[in-house]
Every structure is written in C-alpha cells, then in structure tokens.
C-alpha cells in the first residue's frame, strides 16, 4: 500500500479497487439470503490510501462487509433493508459539492477533493445501534466533524448544526413510497457536533462508501440511534435555533431531537433494553449512549433524558 500525506490525497486519484470482497460470505443470524442476492454496481468502490488507525475504535469484531452493505436503511432507495443495495447502483456521486454556511465567518462550498484535504483520514471502528433494536460494528473511514466546523469559524449565534441530504426524484424514485419528506434533514447541538466522536465518513472497510451506505459523504454519530447519521450530505448550516429533523417531524411521539441510545426509554412500539447484533443469535443488553458514555455523558449533564429523548 502506498502511503501519502493526507494533503496529497485527492478523491479523483484514489487507487482503483483491485478485488471485490467476498460478497457471498455466509451471514449467521436473521439476515435473509435474499439480501445478498441484491448485490449490484452500488458496490463499485475504490481503495483509500494513507488511512491511520484511530484510538477511538472499539476492539469488537467488525460486522461482515456483506451485512453492512446489504442490510441497511436509506429510504430514498426503498424502505426494505435490502432495497438500498438493489436500487442505489446508478446513483451519481461525482462530481459532488457540499455547501457550509449560516452563522459562520467563513462560509464554504467544497468539492470532494477539498473535503478529503480537510483532515487526515482515520479508520474508526464504531458500534452502530439502529432504533429498530439491531446493531452492527462498522469500520468507518473519515475525519472529525469539528475539523470542518472549525474551518468555517462558527459565530457566537451558532448553537446548532443543521444537515440536509441530497435528493433527486429521478435518481431516487423509490422515495415516493417512503412516507417521509425529502430531502432528509437532521441536526445536532453545536457542542455535540464539536465532540471528537462525531465523524464525517467517506469510506468503510478501507474503501470509499458504497452508494447504499451514504456515498460520498455522510455523518456518523455513534452514541445516537442510526437515523441521526444522515447520508449523502449536500448542505451543512449553522443556526441559532434547533433545526427540524425528518423523523421528529414525521413522528414526534416516537423520535426526539436528541435520540441518544438509551435502554431506559422505550420506543412506543418496542423495548430498547436489548438489541440483536447482526451475525449473532442471542440478544444483548443495550448500553446507554451505546457504550460511549465516558466521552459524551457530560454533554447532557442536568438534562432529563426521558423528556429530552
């Protein structure tokens, strides 16, 4: 593997992928074999060089690549877990630009090459907990969100960070059946966004993101339920007031703004006390903040996390 300084790495110059990972690896647990049959050109990714290991990584076994890429939520491409892998293959992710503006001193519009130069790329193996009570361990590649936010210099009025995904009805016709409005929007409090665990991901398993996993550029917030980790980001705006979020708008009694992983607060239709790790049969106990409490619990000091769910 050729090692380069992060400043030398250009998205347009990443090494072509030589060998696809085994896409027929057997998956233990509850994933249907039909999920694997949906393998498509959405997996045409490229290898990333110069990636450093991060001290923030868990030492848990990573979930198989097949499961990560064929059992996931991306409602723009369908509501079944296997739909994104089947339907996202022709999604155009290059060229791409991300606008960063709002309550900032230095608004920016960045293309992918500029995004890749913002900070050194790291591999962070994070636990991922879905609100539907299943979980994975994913080896993301990216850099801290705070690297981008520091670049634009938030003003004193900036209290929240609002995110908006890309949406194109022609490329994402399945979205019409999703039952939620698009483009997908999400938000974090500014201090949450500045926490070093909040990651802007550009890859997983050593390669650029597959389309179905939020290519080319997505958020990963490991102490929150998965729907907070917005995919295919097209705009980031720093704002003074709490921004709207898609699932909170659609079902506020089920999905709060904070959506921290919390086994003490059940979803109205199921318990959050346990989860099923993909690839395992037995359920395990859910841990508050998904096990990242030592890094993030202080953000919510004095808050009632049942009320502020």
DSSP for the chain, written as a single string = -----GGG--GGGPPPP-S---TT----SS--HHHHHT--GGG---B--SPEE-TT---SPPPPHHHHHHS---GGG-SSTTHHHHH-TT---SS-EEEEEESBSS-EEEEHHHHHTSS--EEEEEEEE-TTSEEEEEEEEEEEHHHHHHHH-B-TT--EEEEEE---TTT-GGGGGSSS-SS-EEEEEHHHHHSTT-EEEEEETTEEPPGGGTTT-EEE-TTB-GGGS--SEEEEEEESSPPP-HHHHH-TTT--SS-B--TTS-BTTB--SEEEETT-SS-EE--GGGG-HHHHGGGGTT--TTT--
Q: What pLDDT is attached to residue 44? A: 81
CB 148 within 8 A of CB 118: yes
Closest CA to 93 of 22, 161, 12, 204: 12
pTM over 0.75: yes
Predicted confidence at residue 42, as pLDDT, reads: 60
Q: What number of other Cβ atoms are within 10 A of residue 109's Cβ?
A: 11
For the chain, first and last CA: distance in Å?
44
Q: What's the pLDDT score for residue 32?
A: 37
CB half-sphere exposure, 126, CA atoms < 13 A? 29
- Residues of the chain scoring pLDDT < 50: 1-41
| Top-level class of domain 6-300 | alpha beta
CA distance 118 to 269: 41
Q: Cis before residue 95, ω within 30 degrees of 0? A: yes
């Amino acid at each position: 593997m050729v090692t380069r300084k992060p400043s030398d790495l250009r998205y347009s110059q990443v090494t072509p992928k030589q060998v696809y990972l085994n896409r027929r690896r057997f998956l233990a647990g509850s994933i249907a074999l039909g999920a694997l049959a949906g393998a498509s050109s959405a997996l045409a990714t490229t290898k990333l060089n110069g990636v450093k290991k991060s001290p923030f990584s868990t030492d848990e076994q990573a979930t198989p690549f097949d499961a990560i890429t064929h059992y996931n939520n991306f409602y723009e491409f369908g509501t079944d877990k296997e739909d994104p892998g089947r339907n996202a293959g022709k999604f155009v992710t290059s060229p791409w630009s991300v606008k960063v503006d709002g309550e900032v001193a230095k608004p920016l519009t960045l293309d992918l090459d500029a995004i890749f130069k913002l900070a050194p790329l790291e591999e962070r193996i994070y636990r991922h907990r879905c609100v539907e009570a299943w979980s994975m361990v994913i080896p993301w590649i990216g850099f801290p969100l705070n690297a981008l936010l520091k670049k634009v210099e938030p003003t004193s009025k900036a209290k929240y960070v609002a995110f908006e995904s890309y949406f194109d009805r022609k490329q994402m016709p399945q979205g019409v059946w999703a039952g939620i409005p698009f483009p997908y929007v999400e938000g974090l409090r500014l201090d949450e966004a500045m926490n070093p665990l909040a990651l802007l991901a550009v890859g997983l398993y050593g390669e650029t993101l597959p389309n179905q996993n939020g290519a080319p550029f997505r958020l990963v917030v490991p102490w929150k339920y998965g729907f907070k980790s917005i995919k295919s980001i097209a705009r980031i705006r720093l704002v003074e007031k709490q921004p709207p979020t898609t699932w909170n708008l659609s079902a506020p009694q089920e999905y709060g703004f904070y959506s921290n992983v919390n086994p003490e607060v059940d979803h109205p239709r199921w318990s959050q006390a346990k989860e099923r790790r993909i690839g395992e049969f037995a359920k395990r106990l859910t841990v508050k903040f998904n096990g990242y409490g030592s890094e993030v619990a202080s953000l919510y000091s004095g808050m009632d996390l049942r009320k502020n769910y």
